[in-house]
Amino acid sequence: MLKMELVSSHWSGKHQRVVKGINLITMLWIENDGHLPCYERTMTSRMTKMSENAHFRSLRQKAKERGFQPACVLFDS
């Protein structure tokens, strides 16, 4: 079987089952009609051991370090 880097099995909310693919988390800044990706992370097997809340806190900290100061934060798991 061919093994590709970054491709792993993970839960897909879209498909409601485990799928193979690249598991990407993106933090998106939305203001008026503009959308700006301010941080993204490719999940690896080591990172899947972190809770969703831990990932969120980590992404939020990175955005804060980059100067983003939102009035409201929404997280969808």
The pLDDT tens digits of the residues spanning 8-55 come to 887 788 899 999 888 777 888 888 888 888 777 777 666 667 777 787
Q: Which residue has the higher pLDDT, 60 or 46?
A: 60
Q: What is the pLDDT of residue 45?
A: 61
Q: Kindly report the CA angle at 10 between 18 and 1, in degrees rounded to 5?
A: 85
Three-state secondary-structure class, residue 9: strand
The pLDDT tens digits of the residues spanning 23-32 come to 777 888 888 8
Q: Cα-Cα-Cα-Cα dihedral of 18, 21, 27, 31, to 10°?
A: -100
